[in-house]
Amino acid sequence: MNYLLDGRLSLITPEGVRLQLVPAGPVVRAYAWAIDFAVWSIGASVLIGLLGAIIPSEKLFNGVTAILFFLAYWAYPVICEVYAGGRTLGKHIIGLQVLRADGLPLRWRESVLRNLLMVADFLPLLYASGLLAMLCDRHFRRLGDIVAGTQVVYRDKVPRRVEVPDAAPLPLPFPLTPEQQRALADLFARESRLPHARMLELADIAEPLTGRDGDASLERLRGMAAGLVR
């Protein structure tokens, strides 16, 4: 099950887990493709120089070069997408990745199929068919993505690790929900940016949890937060 909400693609897996993905549009994908093409061009130039130095026959040189270029052109994106989390170098720099339509990582079948169909996306000139398909599809999928059942999305940033409060860990007096635990840990991750008076106000609000008020309540909260993140 999937739908768009505020520009995000919401997927609900069979296990009931909701994934929030942001489809990548034509412009950022063009940037990623340009980087990949530049990398491939540099690699091709180096390969030509090496082959020219070791293959004396011009016909053999042309034949071997054509075969290797063909394999490299298709192998580069496929290997990257399968073994590097759906990211070529260009996608990694821009912050994109390719996933299956259900939000799971790509397999060989989907990656090979979507990249082989880049020929159809290129027609009649300069990826006109692919661009038209992306503009007509609400998930910005080109023809290869539609056929292969894949999509290009923005890669989520790795969440910053919550700093451990400088306090002796204390157990919670009663269970807290995951949201409440996260709020408690985040409070002390932001402590350096909050006035001490505001921290005391929040500590007083948490009196039912700490059994204290003022600085005593704040210190107990700090200890409980330390126990959560350690």
Range of the domain at 202: 178-229
pTM of structure: 0.66
38 falls within a domain: yes
- My answer on whether 185 and 125 are in the same domain is no
Q: How many distinct structural domains can be found in the chain?
A: 2
C-alpha–C-alpha distance, residues 190 and 199, integer Å = 10
CB atoms near residue 107 (< 10 Å): 11
162 falls within a domain: no
Q: What is the pLDDT along the chain (230 residues), one digit of tens a residue?
A: 454 545 677 776 555 556 778 899 999 999 999 999 999 889 888 988 888 888 888 888 888 888 888 888 888 999 999 999 999 999 999 999 999 988 888 999 999 999 999 989 988 888 899 999 999 998 899 999 999 999 999 987 755 555 556 777 888 888 888 888 888 888 877 777 778 888 889 889 989 888 888 888 888 888 888 887 76
Q: Kindly tell me the burial class for residue 225, based on how many C-beta atoms sit within 10 Å of its own C-beta (0-12, 13-18, 19 or more).
A: buried
C-alpha–C-alpha distance, residues 25 and 9, integer Å = 13
